[in-house]
Amino acid sequence: MEGQRESLPSVGNMNLGTATIAFVLAVVFVLAVFAVPGLHGQTLSPLHEFKGGRNDGGTDGAYPHAGLTMDQAGNLYGTTSAGGLVTNDCTGLGCGTVYKLLRKNSGWLLYPLYNFQGGTDGQVPEGRLTIGPDGSLYGTAEGGLATCYGSSSCGVVFNLRPPPGICRSFSCPWTETILYRFTGGVDGWNPGADLTFDRAGNLYGIATDGGYTGSGNCVDFGCGVVYKLTPSNGSWTESVIYQFLGGADGENPWGGVIFDTVGNLYGITAAGGVMSCEFGCGTVFQLSPTQSGWVKNTLHPFQGGNDGYFPETGLTSDRAGNLYGSTASGGPGNGGTIFQLTSVSGSWVYSVIYGLSGQLNSQGGPAGPLTIDQAANLYGAATGDGAHGVGSIFKLTPSNGSWLFTDVHDFGGEDGAYPYDGLVVDSGGNVYGTALQGGQFSRGLVFVITP
What order of strands is seen across the sheet that includes strand 196-197?
196-197, 203-207, 225-232, 235-243
Residue of 369, 284, 271, 394 whose CA lies nearest to 66: 369
Kindly indicate the confidence band of residue 89, based on its pLDDT and cuts at 50, 70 and 90: confident
Residue of 411, 416, 410, 450 whose CA lies nearest to 434: 416
- Tell me how far apart the 2 most distant CA atoms of the chain are, in Å: 59
Residue of 239, 219, 214, 221 whose CA lies nearest to 229: 239
pLDDT in tens, 297-325: 999 999 999 999 999 899 999 999 999 99
pLDDT of amino acid 57:
47
Are 91 and 85 in contact, with CB atoms under 8 Å apart? no
Q: Which residue has the higher pLDDT, 157 or 345?
A: 157
Q: Is the pLDDT of residue 235 over 80?
A: yes
pLDDT of amino acid 363:
66
Distance set, CA 276 to CA 50, 248, 427 (Å): 41, 11, 43
Q: Which amino acid is at 164?
A: P
Among the residues of 153-299, which ranges form H helices? Answer: none
SS3 215: coil
Kindly indicate the confidence band of residue 130, based on its pLDDT and cuts at 50, 70 and 90: very high
Region 167-177 average pLDDT: 79
Residue of 315, 147, 136, 172 whose CA lies nearest to 157: 136
Where residue 179 falls (left for φ over 0; alpha for ψ -120 to 50; beta otherwise) is alpha
Distance set, CA 355 to CA 351, 384, 405 (Å): 11, 14, 10
pLDDT of amino acid 65:
95
- What's the rounded Cα separation, in Å, for the pair 129 and 140? 8
Q: DSSP letters of 321-364?
A: --EEEEESBBSTTEEEEEEEEEEETTEEEEEEEEEEE--TT---
- What's the rounded Cα separation, in Å, for the pair 417 and 224? 30
pLDDT of amino acid 199:
95
pLDDT of amino acid 93:
79
pLDDT of amino acid 9:
31
pLDDT of amino acid 54:
56
User: What average pLDDT does the structure give for the chain?
Assistant: 86
- What's the rounded Cα separation, in Å, for the pair 66 and 55? 23
Distance set, CA 344 to CA 303, 321, 350 (Å): 21, 11, 10
Q: Which fold has domain 16-449?
A: Methylamine Dehydrogenase; Chain H (2.130.10)
Kindly indicate the confidence band of residue 88, based on its pLDDT and cuts at 50, 70 and 90: confident
pLDDT in tens, 246-266: 999 999 999 999 999 999 999
25: enclosing H helix or E strand: helix 16-26
pLDDT in tens, 179-217: 999 988 899 999 989 999 999 999 999 999 999 999 888
Q: Which residue has the higher pLDDT, 332 or 27?
A: 332
Q: Is the pLDDT of residue 351 over 90?
A: yes
Q: Is the pLDDT of residue 278 over 70?
A: yes
Are 208 and 253 in contact, with CB atoms under 8 Å apart? yes
Cβ count near 165 (within 10 Å): 7
Region 108-120 average pLDDT: 90
Count CA atoms closer than 13 A to 321's CA, side-chain side. 14
* Angle at 289 (CA atoms; ends 284, 292), nearest 5 degrees: 125
Kindly indicate the confidence band of residue 362, based on its pLDDT and cuts at 50, 70 and 90: low
- The DSSP output letter for 146 is S
Where residue 274 falls (left for φ over 0; alpha for ψ -120 to 50; beta otherwise) is beta
- What's the rounded Cα separation, in Å, for the pair 391 and 417? 6
Compute the chain's Rg from CA coordinates. 20
pLDDT of amino acid 142:
83
